[in-house]
């Protein structure tokens, strides 16, 4: 008898971060705050997403995207960062790959910048403080 059959499955739900063919969605997290990067990482990996790289500013984010392409599914992009801001990085990523799926991460009170990013081609946005269900809902809606 297989030992696993002794254990009832308590959670039949598939993790949100895995596509229908069983592959984890690959995420690049671009944020200058170690705290936010860690939070996004924890939320996404707990649902089966794979955070393949992180970048601490826009310029590094663009570099990593180009390096990883096409093995990258989603980018979370902070807006206010040193060296290169998130909107400029978004423009450069869209210029390189017009199908890029970029989700902006913004502090409250930056509606104009969020609007601008959506015009430039961001697929969705998340407002800080991050809330687990909001992050997952927005990221999953972009994956599907």
Stretch that binds another protein, among 12-20, 32-40, 46-54, 96-104 (CB under 8 A): 32-40
d(CA 72, CA 101): 9
For the four alpha carbons of 43, 134, 17 and 104, in that order, the dihedral sign comes to: negative
Count of residues of this chain found to bind another protein when the rule CB under 8 A is applied: 15
| Binding of residue 116 to another protein (CB under 8 A) | no
What is the closest distance, in whole angstroms, from the C-beta atom of residue 41 to another protein in the complex?
Answer: 11
| Binding of residue 133 to another protein (CB under 8 A) | no
Q: Per-residue DSSP letters for 34-90?
A: HHHHHHHHHHHHTTT-EEEEEESSHHHHHHHHHHHTTS--EEEEESS-SSS-HHHHH
- Answer for which of 41, 110, 120, 121 binds another protein (CB under 8 A) is 110
Q: State the residues that interact with another protein by CB under 8 A.
A: 33-36, 38-39, 42, 80, 107-110, 128-129, 131
């Amino acid at each position: 008898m297989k030992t696993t059959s002794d254990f009832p499955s308590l959670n039949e739900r598939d993790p949100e971060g895995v596509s229908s063919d069983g592959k984890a969605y690959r995420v690049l997290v671009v944020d200058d705050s170690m705290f936010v990067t860690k939070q996004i990482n924890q939320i996404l990996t707990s649902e089966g997403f794979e955070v393949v790289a992180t970048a601490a500013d826009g310029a590094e984010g663009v570099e990593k995207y180009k390096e990883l392409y096409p093995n990258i599914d989603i980018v979370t992009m902070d807006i206010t960062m040193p060296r290169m801001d998130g909107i400029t990085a978004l423009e450069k990523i869209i210029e390189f790959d017009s199908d890029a799926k970029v989700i902006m991460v913004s502090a409250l009170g930056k509606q104009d910048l969020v609007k601008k990013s959506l015009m430039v081609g961001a697929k969705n946005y998340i407002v800080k403080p991050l809330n687990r269900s909001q992050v997952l809902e927005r990221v999953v809606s972009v994956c599907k």
